[in-house]
Every structure is written in C-alpha cells, then in structure tokens.
Structure 1
C-alpha cells in the first residue's frame, strides 16, 4: 500500500495523537499544516485531514461502509508491546492488549482507537506468515 488518508473530526485533537504514534514507528513528517498532516516510513504513508464541518458530527463507526480498521505490521513482538504502551500514554481506548491470536502462526497484536474511534491494530507475524512456502 502506498498511503492511507483518514478523515478526522478535530485536527487539533488528532494531529498530536498521530504525530506521536507515527513517530514512535520511525515514520517522519512530510507535510504538516492546519488541514493536512502526512507521515511516511518504510514503503507507505499515512495522512489525516479534517472532515467537512457539516459531516464531522456523524462520527466514525467501523460497521458503516468504508474503513473497518487499519493495521500496521511491526518488526517484533517487542515493537507491538512498545506501541501498546504509546497508545496507553496517548489515552487511547484500548480494545485489546497485546496477545497472540490464530490469524497466522505466531500472530501477536494489540488493538486501540484513535480520538475519533478509528481502530488501529499493530501486529507482528514471524517469517512470511501465510506466505510461507510449505
């Protein structure tokens, strides 16, 4: 994926959240102004921009058409744990503390919400996961 852009209800509230979260993943800020915040790292980027004021009050719900959640791939279980601690420090709603799951061999993840309730997962899968050759 090249990049993802999220629409947020309050840039003043969401920008510091995403700046700290993305910088903790070694992403760097490429653009930063009152109407657009964009960080890049690895081979992808993430941007936030304000919602139309007439629509901002509708709020995010993961079961509406559109985005359900986004997931960042970590390089290690320790990175998942560190991002979990960052989310806690940011006051994010924690949906799931770091734990193993059966989505793939060795799958380890945490799940939390941004200030608008957009769910963010961070996972680690050793090796090539499902792409591993038998």
Structure 2
C-alpha cells in the first residue's frame, strides 16, 4: 500500500491552486508543509497516505532531474462517477489540461476515469470502480 509519494513542481503557488481545486472536488484536503511544500491527503485525522508537492530539490534526485522531466502518474480514488466528473471540471478550471475526458475505459471493466495534466505535465487521474457497463447505459453528470 502507498504511504506517501511526492514530486517537485516549478511554481508552488500555481500548483497549490490546481491541487486545492481537485482536492475539493475529491473531498480531500491540502495543508502547508513548510514554505516550499504542501501535502494533499484525506484529513488531519487520517494523514497517511499523502502526496508531497513542493519546490525543494529532493536529496535522492539524480543529476539532471527537474520538475516535469519524468512525468508522474497519480490516480485518486473517487466515490462516484459524479466525483470523477467534478475532479475533471475543477482540474481544467484550475489550469489543468485534458488528457482523457471522464468516461469508461475500454477493456477496464467496471472502471470510470478522467485524466488531466497538471501545470508541470504530470498525469493526474480520478477513477471510480464499480459501474456495471454491461447493463443499462449509466447516467453521468456533466
């Protein structure tokens, strides 16, 4: 299981606006983690797992690393297709770029997801599992 992950961004304020927006859509939260970073997670009562997002150069970075050099992928679990839709709208409104609109993914069974690129080009996803696409056409909010 994931305990934490993180990545470096070029502009902390721009990234904070983006991640605050998608956190609200997914009913998550963000909290400052010093002047050069913030955390995204469930809550103060449930702090782990979390995603560290900051501008500090990690001690483990290889020579030549920089924000966005190696695209990261993170998938957030949503509680419904409507929450996936809200994530997508919030991400685009906060400066994200479309990388796959909300919908079922061919060959993925009961999976409904959306993909956006954050301001540094990292692929951020929200997904919901549990939709039976073999039955009646599901109704999703737009």
Q: Which runs of 4+ in 1 moved over 6 A?
A: none
**Separation in 2 of the partners of 1:29 and 1:58?**
20
Q: Deviations over 1:99-132 (max 9, x none)?
A: 11135322111100110000101111118xxxxx
**Separation in 1 of the partners of 2:3 and 2:66?**
29
Distance 1:55 1:90, change over 3 A: farther
Distance 1:103 1:123, change over 3 A: farther
Q: Normalised by the size of structure 1, how large is the TM-score?
A: 0.76
Tell me the residue number matched to 1:45: 50
Once the two structures are TM-superposed, the CA of residue 20 in structure 1 deviates from its matched residue by 2.1
Alignment of 1:63-74 (within 5 A): 67=72, 69-74=73-78
Q: Normalised by the size of structure 2, how large is the TM-score?
A: 0.72
Tell me the residue number matched to 2:60: none
Q: Secondary structure at the match of 2:119?
A: coil
Tell me the residue number matched to 1:125: 129
1:31 aligns with 2:32: yes
Distance 1:19 1:71, change over 3 A: same
Once the two structures are TM-superposed, the CA of residue 81 in structure 1 deviates from its matched residue by 0.7
Tell me the residue number matched to 1:101: 105
Once the two structures are TM-superposed, the CA of residue 51 in structure 1 deviates from its matched residue by 4.7
> Mind listing any 5+ residue stretches in structure 1 that lack a counterpart?
128-134
Q: Secondary structure at the match of 2:38?
A: strand
Distance 1:55 1:22, change over 3 A: farther
1:86 aligns with 2:87: no
Judge conservation of contact 1:60–1:118 (CA < 8 Å) in 2. no
Q: Secondary structure at the match of 1:33?
A: coil
Q: Deviations over 1:8-58 (max 9, x none)?
A: 111122122112222332222343432110132165211211054x96766
Judge conservation of contact 1:5–1:48 (CA < 8 Å) in 2. yes
